[in-house]
Amino acid sequence: MKVRTSLAAAVLASAILLPSAAPTLAAPPAPRPPGIEKQDTLRWVAPKDLRIGSAVAGGGHHETQAYPDPFTYDQPYRERLAAEFNSVSPENQLKWEFVHPEQDTYRFAEMDAIVQFAQANKQVVRGHTLFWHSQNPEWLEEGDFTKEELRAILKDHIQTVVGRYAGKIQQWDVANEIFNDNGTLRTTDNIWIRELGPDIIADAFRWAHEADPKAKLFFNDYGVEGLNAKSNAYLELIPRLQAQGVPIDGFAIQGHLSTRYGFPGDLRANLQRFDDLGLETAITEIDVRMDVVAGTEPTAAQLAQQASYYQRALEACVAVDECNSFTIWGFTDTYSWVPVFFSGEGEATVMEEDFTRKPAYYALQTTLEQASPGRGNR
Ligand code: 9MR
């Protein structure tokens, strides 16, 4: 399982043979990985009213690793991304620091390539994210702007980015992680809320809606799996904004879980109370990390616990009417953010580094299969 070094070397070697530019725009569909039947994939068994997705690795922590851009250069990775999923989410490629690195410069090539890939492979795209306290460019965070200027900067950004992909992005995480764990707004570290006040949240949704009236607009956060102060805060905020006519379609739960803690058994009840408000819901970033001891494999018990968390999360979504999208935050441990951010933890995705499927993969496959009276979005 521990093939990080050799795999990185192989990817690096193949990168040398490839052109340095991102794949061309008229991308053909990715071929199916050898040995994998069409019917033996997650997207094939998914119910027609549920998209099964993955983050698309690139940007962020990947830029500090010893491999080239995964989405651009890792062909076996691309084949599995196409074969297994019918929804994709850019992991970092739409975040401010990546897509808007200088005040007057946008960098769209990478996201354009993801959208082309998704279209060629009949996948929908989740846009992530427009309004966040993190991964903002220095020119923005350190800039000396008046309130009017900041407001104009946010509006321009949202309308430029959402407008460019209008009709091509199904769901947007418009506002990401706006609450602290205790349910108070992030009035210190979120530049927009700090400088412009909480009403700017509604404007962000209005501007996104103007730029693409058909896109579904979401709040997205971590630590809101269960019934707690943070999820309560969303339950209070969303209807209040909707009563003012703010275009909000959904509430999304990231789902970064750890086997160190118990499974959030109230996930289904929590999704249901947002569904009861008439909202769509989604699981947008699930992974399940575990303790790792360098040089050893996870135990069967660890893998079984991980599989059960993935399965219970998917079952919770399947059980709720308008939970229409279930996305894992990467599908192979090769590119997972977890070991980079949590020392001593890892193995958080459903496939080993050589794409061997873990018990967690089969748990998802079986759960999707059992949830599928009418299949569709293959
Ligand atoms: O997976 C992302 C990683 O590549 C970045 O370096 C990191 C920086 O904050 O962000 C990771 O993605 C985050 C997502 O955008 C929002 N929810 C939490 C995710 C994990 O940190």
- Rounded to 5 degrees, φ, ψ at 304 are -70, -40
pLDDT of res. 26: 66
Burial class (CB in 10 A: 0-12, 13-18, 19+), 185: middle
| Residue to probe by mutation, ligand 1, list 132, 186, 329, most atoms within 8 Å of CB | 329
Question: What pTM was estimated for this model as a whole?
Answer: 0.93
- Is 177 known to be catalytic? yes
CA distances from 166 to 110, 126, 279, 304 (A): 17, 12, 21, 41
220 bridge partner residues: 176, 252
Ligand 1 binding pocket includes 133 (Cβ within 6 Å)? no
Ligand 1 binding pocket includes 285 (Cβ within 6 Å)? yes
Dihedral sign (CA 43, 44, 45, 51): positive
The span from the CA of 85 to the CA of 33, in Å, is 13
Question: What is the residue with the minimal CA distance to atom 14 of ligand 1?
Answer: 91
pLDDT higher than threshold 70 for residue 333: yes
pLDDT of res. 14: 42
For 4-18, the pLDDT digits (tens) are 434 444 444 444 334
Residue 373: pLDDT band (50, 70, 90) is low
- CA of 39 relative to ligand 1 center, distance in Å: 31
Ligand 1 binding pocket includes 349 (Cβ within 6 Å)? no
For 98-143, the pLDDT digits (tens) are 999 999 999 999 999 999 999 999 999 999 999 999 999 999 999 9
Minimum-distance ligand 1 atom for the alpha carbon of 340: 6
Residue 68 in tokens: 């080239």
Ligand 1 binding pocket includes 97 (Cβ within 6 Å)? no
Dihedral sign (CA 164, 24, 353, 376): positive
- CA of 178 relative to ligand 1 center, distance in Å: 15
Ligand 1 binding pocket includes 342 (Cβ within 6 Å)? no
Please give the mean pLDDT across all residues of the chain: 93
Question: What is the residue with the minimal CA distance to atom 7 of ligand 1?
Answer: 60
pLDDT higher than threshold 50 for residue 221: yes
DSSP run (H or E) holding 128:
strand 124-131
- CA of 91 relative to ligand 1 center, distance in Å: 7
- CA of 375 relative to ligand 1 center, distance in Å: 32
- Rounded to 5 degrees, φ, ψ at 8 are -60, -40
The span from the CA of 307 to the CA of 287, in Å, is 10
Compute and round to an integer the Cα radius of gyration of the chain: 20
How far is Cα of residue 87 from the mean position of the Cα atoms in its chain?
Answer: 10
Question: What is the residue with the minimal CA distance to atom 19 of ligand 1?
Answer: 285
Which residue in the list 84, 91, 285, 353 is annotated as catalytic? 285
pLDDT higher than threshold 60 for residue 181: yes
- Residue 117: which of 95, 92, 86 has the closest Cα? 86
Residue 20: pLDDT band (50, 70, 90) is very low
pLDDT higher than threshold 50 for residue 2: no
pLDDT higher than threshold 60 for residue 21: no
Ligand 1 binding pocket includes 254 (Cβ within 6 Å)? yes
Ligand 1 binding pocket includes 135 (Cβ within 6 Å)? yes
The span from the CA of 286 to the CA of 253, in Å, is 9
Ligand 1 binding pocket includes 355 (Cβ within 6 Å)? no
Residue 27: pLDDT band (50, 70, 90) is confident
pLDDT of res. 1: 32
Q: Average pLDDT for residues 149-157, to the nearest whole number?
A: 98
Q: Average pLDDT for residues 244-260, to the nearest whole number?
A: 98
Q: Average pLDDT for residues 46-71, to the nearest whole number?
A: 97
pLDDT higher than threshold 90 for residue 372: no
**Percent of the chain at pLDDT exceeding 90:** 90
Ligand 1 binding pocket includes 275 (Cβ within 6 Å)? no
- May I ask the CATH class of domain 37-371? alpha beta
Minimum-distance ligand 1 atom for the alpha carbon of 330: 1
Got the DSSP string for 266-327?
THHHHHHHHHTTT-EEEEEEEEEEEE--TT-PPPHHHHHHHHHHHHHHHHHHHHSTTEEEEE
**Percent of the chain at pLDDT exceeding 70:** 91
Which residue in the list 84, 91, 97, 177 is annotated as catalytic? 177
